[in-house]
Structure 1
Amino acid sequence: MKYPYEVTVTDTGHPITAGVKDFRVASEQYYMSVDPNNHVLAESTFTGEHLPWLEGKTIPQAWTRTWGRGRVFYSAVGHDLDDLQNPDVTRLCTQGFAWAARQDA
């Protein structure tokens, strides 16, 4: 289901979120179980308008973790071209990919 929702940056001190402000997207608002070892960078809270049983539940939207010597960056945002054209989404993704590749953004 595609509808507007807010994404809140929860770790503003991470290199991936540097300069990224909270933003609004119109996309699928994913809900999932995640590993508690993931480092959450951004999250969203369900309003219950479309999925009443999830009202008030906060779900990670972007996170990192290490895997052996590797780095993993995940973002649930970006299923719609309009969302990817949002400057904060673009910055989040660009910096996330660079962080995972151990390169400067």
Structure 2
Amino acid sequence: MEIQCLSRSFEEIKSIWKNMRFWFVIHSQGHVFEARRGCDSYMVDLDVMTCSCRLWDSSGVPHVHAKAAVNFIHQTPDGYIKAYFSKDKFKQCYSTNIKPVNGNSL
């Protein structure tokens, strides 16, 4: 699986996704799905990249429920990880000089 994001981020992402196989996905309509595991159930909308658990909204990384939905439609998660984690955005952020700041004593 080739994902174009920073390697540290990818390690964190893999640890989140390790339990994906335990989630049962039900298609609702369009790119809206329900991910279930036991008594837990979450609504995932891949078009707007949200999940009712709100972890995707706060972290920018699709949580296990969203990853299960992406897997259900046989797609790679590349397009569902926020641009913040991409190598291109990282390079863009540090493409200019970062000016040092004064210490507390000033």
Please report the TM-score for the alignment, with normalisation by the length of structure 1.
0.30
TM-score of the pair, normalised by structure 2? 0.30
